[in-house]
């Protein structure tokens, strides 16, 4: 049993021996709506897993028939309406894990969307590197239905994955879409029937676990940092990041890959990974 299990009220952490750690939003009776406790717990979970060598890939899913039904309208909003100090603290925690930490998390992250995904849930959905959904899942920017605008960074985050017309349709109508449409819009990589969701995700996890972790981590971080840089800054950053990766990669991937391709002639980099 891992150290992380059963320590949290709102989150389950299953740290597997193969390097995959499954994080389950665990308030099924409230459709995994995010209350302040969940935000504080997730800041702690992500901080600990970042420093933990046993975790190489993170997968986020939800207990029951929901992924995340947005912010908790009772505990996050109504109960904090007249408590600005509590609201300020929990909203900092909310932003901290869902965007600042997750967007540039130094390990690959996958959202496995098993059911409802509303409002604030789009922030961590977007921040994850990859996303697989169930066809039966329902995604909605439902804020307009409840009388607010998509705040908490949602309106800014979604432009990373969606186009202008689709954003306007989703935020102005509040209409939900299913997994297949989420795939068509590019909100998720792929949508499969719920019965196949776990196997499909496991295949993706296995593919990532086959790779050199140092290279994967540098690759995702480099892209996320350079995408909003100017050309000159991006060139310089990538040059230095490449040097840093080569110097710190514990398994010397580039050297091994080069030898196996050019000297041993045992593999082709275009068709698969070097033998680790």
Nearer to ligand ACO, 129 or 143 (CB): 143
Contacts of 92 (CB under 8 A, 6+ apart): none
Asked whether position 70 contacts ligand ACO by CB under 6 A, the answer is yes
Using the rule CB under 6 A, give the single segment among 6-14, 64-72, 97-105, 159-167 that binds ligand ACO.
64-72
User: What is the rounded distance in angstroms from the CA atom of residue 164 to the CA atom of residue 140?
Assistant: 16
**Of 15, 21, 61, 71, the one binding ligand ACO by CB under 6 A:** 71
4, containing H or E segment: none
Closest CA to 129 of 110, 114, 154: 110
Nearer to ligand ACO, 31 or 101 (CB): 31
Work out whether strand 11-15 and strand 20-25 pair parallel, antiparallel, or are unpaired.
antiparallel
Contact 68, 33 (CB under 8 A): yes
List binders of ligand ACO among 187-246 (CB under 6 A).
none
Cα–Cα separations (whole angstroms), residue 57 to 74, 208, 244: 33, 8, 21
Total chain residues near ligand ACO (CB under 6 A)? 17
Instruction: Tell me the Cα Rg of the chain.
Output: 20
Q: Shortest Cβ distance from residue 177 to ligand ACO (Å)?
A: 13
Contact 196, 189 (CB under 8 A): no
List binders of ligand ACO among 89-148 (CB under 6 A).
116, 118-120, 142-143, 146
Nearer to ligand ACO, 109 or 123 (CB): 123
Asked whether position 253 contacts ligand ACO by CB under 6 A, the answer is no
Asked whether position 74 contacts ligand ACO by CB under 6 A, the answer is yes
Asked whether position 4 contacts ligand ACO by CB under 6 A, the answer is no
List binders of ligand ACO among 27-46 (CB under 6 A).
30-31, 33
């Amino acid at each position: 049993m891992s150290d992380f299990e059963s320590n949290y009220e709102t989150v389950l952490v299953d740290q597997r021996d193969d390097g995959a750690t499954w994080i389950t939003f665990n308030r099924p009776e409230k459709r995994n709506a995010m209350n302040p406790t969940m935000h504080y717990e997730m800041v702690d979970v992500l901080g600990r897993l970042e420093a933990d060598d046993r975790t190489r890939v993170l997968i986020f899913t939800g207990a029951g028939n929901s992924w995340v039904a947005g912010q908790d309208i009772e505990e996050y909003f109504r109960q904090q309406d007249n408590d600005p100090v509590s609201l300020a603290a929990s909203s900092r925690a909310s932003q901290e894990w869902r965007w600042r930490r997750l967007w540039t998390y130094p390990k690959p992250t996958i959202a496995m969307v098993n059911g409802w995904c509303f409002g604030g849930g789009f922030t961590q959905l977007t921040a994850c590197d990859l996303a697989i959904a169930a066809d039966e899942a329902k995604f909605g920017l439902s804020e307009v239905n409840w009388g607010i605008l998509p705040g908490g960074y949602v309106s800014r985050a979604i432009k990373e994955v969606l186009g202008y017309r689709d954003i306007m349709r989703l935020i102005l109508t509040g209409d939900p879409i299913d997994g297949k449409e989420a795939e068509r819009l590019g909100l998720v990589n792929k949508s499969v029937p719920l019965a196949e969701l776990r196997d499909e995700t496991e295949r993706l996890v296995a593919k990532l676990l086959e790779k050199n972790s140092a290279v994967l981590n540098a690759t995702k971080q480099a892209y996320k940092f350079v995408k909003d840089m100017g050309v000159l800054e991006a060139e310089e950053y990538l040059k230095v990041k490449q040097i840093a990766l080569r110097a710190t990669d514990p398994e010397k991937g580039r050297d091994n890959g080069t030898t196996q391709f050019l000297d041993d002639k045992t593999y082709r980099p275009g068709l698969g990974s070097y033998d680790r």
